Structure 1
Amino acid sequence: MRPEISSSIDDIGTTLTTIEKVMNPGEMADRVRELEAQAADPSLWDDPDHAQQVTTELSNVQSRLKKLRNLRQRLDDLPVLFELAEEEAEGEDLAQSELAELRAEVEALEVKTMLSGEYDQREAVLNIRSGAGGVDASDWAEMLMRMYIRWAEKNNHKVDIYDTSYAEEAGIKSATLVVHGEYMYGTLSVEQGAHRLVRISPFDNQARRQTSFAEVEVLPVVEQTDHIDIPDSEIKVDVFRSSGPGGQSVNTTDSAVRITHEPTGIVVTCQNEKSQLQNRASAMRVLQARLLERKRAEERAELDALGAGGNASWGNQMRSYVLHPYQMVKDLRTNYEVGDPQKVLDGDLDGFLEAGIRWRVAEQRKNET
């Protein structure tokens, strides 16, 4: 085996060993056995919420353990694959492809081990709002919504669209999405901030270049253990008919719900469900998420005032998408960039997400020193 191949395999092995130390497959296997015993208990479903937590955690831990073991097995098989490639001409391409794929998967898992924040393991609420730029900004906000939905679909994550407020001419004023899956908050939280689009406006009859903005807010989904109590006396609930594109249930019943939290002025709307009760429950979850984030921001502000360091955000303008006069998407924090904006807008975000997570960890370490 060539020295450069051997060196590449050793590098991947070093990274994977570090990952195994962090994830601890032995402890994961013990946890699987513990959860399997709980899942086998016939009384588990006497408490459906607890049962759901147990079965979800069991599925997630089993998946992580299987992934880790699979990577180790593939790494152990790699030297044999290259030895066989020396005997077969077409085997070299296959071995090189497996080496590249394995490196990418190990690096992606390494990034996931950096998601150790209090809420990183949770699902994510995305609020997308159009900013400066008129109708172009509304169109841009809808393009961003599509981008995140496409990214989630490519990675097999279910997305629920809780609310969409459509603009008059084109695009959306705002949208609220929930991205389901483990570590969605930790992964997508690096997307928070202002996204800038530069292009020839399709809405300008003189075909002038237009700069427009949209804001992305990312929140962790609230769980029962968060203790965000909202007294009924603090909220105002309005019901109305759903609007915008939809099926037969749209505009036929007062199923959409708008909740206003009067002490803070936070307003949350949900209209994706047919049932008013379901929409109210979904809107309350988003309201709780926003109040939780508000509480966390206040706590961080208090720490900053005491000189504890840290930063609640990563700058307002975090990424530029340029479609004219040249083609480029660049993250202004990490300097990670690609020259194919269409691929990014079609959901190819993994490079930006990984760069953002690595950058955030480096910034946290700097603030700790």
Structure 2
Amino acid sequence: MSAEFEAVLKDLGGKLTQIESVMDVDALRKEVAELEEEAARPDLWDDPEAAQKVTSQLSHKQAEIRKVTELRQRLDDLGVLYELAEAEGDAASKAEAENDIKGLANDVDALEVRTLLSGEYDERNAVVTIRSEAGGVDAADWAEMLLRMYLRWAERHGYPTDVYDISYAEEAGIRSATFKVTAPYVYGTLSVEQGTHRLVRISPFDNQSRRQTSFAHVEVLPEVEEVDHVDVPEKDIRVDVYRSSGPGGQSVNTTDSAVRITHLPTGIVVSCQNEKSQLQNKAAAMKVLQAKLLQRKKAEERAELDALRDGGSSWGNQMRNYVLHPYQQVKDVRTGLEVGNPTAVLDGELDAFLESGIRWRKQQETEAA
């Protein structure tokens, strides 16, 4: 076996051993066995909500074990394949092994990034809100481009999405949109996207074809679960109902089913018009409100800690620039990662930015600690 190939195998083996240690695969297998026993109970589905939670946890933990086990098997198989190809002088098989190890390295790196997600809410689903900021109609169009980018990213990974609310701008684009992404660790993954996104391009809305800079803000929250106990008394909210709006067709309801909830003590306003009934829209809006209140509570706790440390971090403000003119580039302000193909990024190819953002955040947390 060539020294270079052997070194790559050894490096990947070391990474996988570290990943297996962090994930605690033995403990995961024990949890799976316990969940399988629970899932086999004949009365499990007497409580559908609890049953769904058990089956979801079981599926997630089985997938985690399967992922790391398959990577270990692929690594072992590649070593054997390369040795056989070398012994038999099979150049084609050697080339195949060298090509396959690149894909394996990418998959190991992706799983390694997952092990860096150890925050309190990182395992949860994500609730994402996009708002247009400075830039007029271009900013509204930019906000809609970002909405498509994240929905395409979720689609590429097979993650279900649920659009809670879209507020359309008058001329083009959107003023804001809120949606949920459902997948293990998707909050921890997408939370590095929070901040201001800046677009530079020739404005399609300017008849003189001048360059325009537009801004949109991305907010990422963990989905609230019952264990969070975010108490919202009825006296603290005002609920308004109205007729849903949209670009036309079936998305425009003929009844007042859309719901807007105002949290009176804080002034936070959330709305939902995606569901068919007023009750469903109110329930969805309440989830978003609870997520925002939870974030507010955590922000206040962080502010107290930051004051003790003599100031906090400002990394969550401006975080990425997208330049379409006079050159083509997407650059992360925090990590320095640059990509020369904005079209691909805006079509949902975000993984490189997400991975570098997660690694960068972990480094910042380690240095701060």
Q: Same fold (TM over 0.5)?
A: yes
* TM-score in terms of structure 1 length: 0.97
Give 1:91 deviation, angstroms: 1.8
Alignment of 1:123-142 (within 5 A): 123-142=125-144
Query: Which of 257, 266, 278 is equivalent to 1:264?
Result: 266
Equivalent residues of 1:256, 1:270 under 8 A apart: yes
Given that 2:121 and 2:188 are in contact with CA atoms closer than 8 Å, whether structure 1 keeps it comes out as yes
Per-residue CA deviations over 1:302-331 (Å, capped at 9, x if unaligned) read 1122228653x5242100000111110000
Per the TM alignment, residue 111 of structure 1 is displaced from its structure 2 partner at its CA by 0.4
Q: 1:18 maps to what in 2?
A: 18
Tell me how far 1:93 sits from its aligned partner.
3.1
Partner of 2:72: 72
Q: How many residues align structurally?
A: 367
- Secondary structure at 2:91's aligned position in 1? coil
Contact 2:242–2:256, Cα closer than 8 Å, also in 1: yes
Check whether the contact 2:149–2:345 (CA below 8 A) recurs between aligned residues: yes
Counterparts of 1:88-99 in structure 2 under 5 Å?
88-99=90-101
Q: Which amino acid is 2:28 matched to? A: M
Match of 2:241 among 227, 239, 248: 239
- Which deviations, in whole Å up to 9, do the C-alpha atoms of 1:80-135 show, x marking residues without a partner? 12124333332233212210111000000000000000000000000000010011
Q: Pick one of 194, 197, 213 that aligns with 2:196.
A: 194
Partner secondary structure for residue 211 of structure 1:
strand
- Alpha-carbon distance between aligned partners in 1 of 2:59 and 2:202, rounded to the nearest angstrom: 47
Q: Residue 22 of structure 1 contacts residue 113 of structure 1 at CA under 8 Å; is this kept in 2?
A: yes
Matched-pair contact (CA < 8 Å) for 1:310–1:364? no
Deviation, structure 1 residue 205: 0.7
Residues 110-149 of structure 1 mapped to structure 2, 5 A cutoff: 110-149=112-151
Identity level (%): 65
Greater Cα shift, 243-252 or 99-108: 243-252
Q: Does structure 2 retain, via aligned residues, the 8 Å contact 1:122–1:184?
A: yes
**For 2:186 and 2:96, how far apart are their aligned partners in 1?**
33
Matched, 1:339 2:335: no
Distance 1:346 1:234, change over 3 A: same
SS at match of 1:297: helix
Bigger Cα displacement from structure 2, 224-233 vs 246-255: 246-255
Deviation per residue, 1:28-74 (Å, 9 max, x gap): 11111100000111122222222121111000000000111100111
Match of 2:40 in 1: 40
Superposition CA RMSD, Å: 1.2
1:173 alignment partner in structure 2: 175
- Kept after mapping to 1: 8 A contact 2:194/2:316: no
d(CA) in 2 for partners of 1:85, 1:143: 48
Query: In structure 2, what is the equivalent of residue 362 of structure 1?
Result: 363
- Cα deviations across residues 289-311 of structure 1 (Å, max 9, x unaligned)? 00000000001111122228653
- Give yes or no for contact 2:303–2:312 (8 Å, CA) kept in 1: no
Distance 1:232 1:178 in 2: 24
Amino acid at match of 1:96: E
Amino acid at match of 1:285: K
1: CA distance between counterparts of 2:199 and 2:105? Answer: 33
Change (3 A) 1:6 1:310: farther
Q: Call closer, same or farther: CA 1:55–1:310 in 2, change over 3 Å.
A: farther
Q: What stretches of structure 2 of length at least 5 have no aligned partner?
A: none
Structure 2 length normalisation: TM-score?
Answer: 0.97
Q: Who is 2:328 aligned against?
A: 327
Deviation of residue 249 (structure 1)? 5.7
Residues 163, 270 of structure 1: 8 Å contact kept: yes
Consecutive unaligned residues of structure 1, counting only runs of 5 or more, are none
Aligned to 1:306: 308
Decide whether aligned partners of structure 1 residues 246 and 43 sit closer, same or farther in structure 2, where only a CA change above 3 A counts: farther
Quick check: 2:262–2:270 contact (8 Å CA) kept in 1?
A: yes
Q: 1 CA distance for matches of 2:208 and 2:159? A: 41
User: Is the alpha carbon distance of 1:361 and 1:258 closer, same or farther for their aligned partners in structure 2, counting shifts above 3 Å?
Assistant: same
Contact 1:309 1:367 in 2 (8 A): no
Aligned to 1:59: 59
Separation (CA, whole Å) in 1 of partners of 2:315 and 2:222: 17
Partner SS for 1:325:
coil
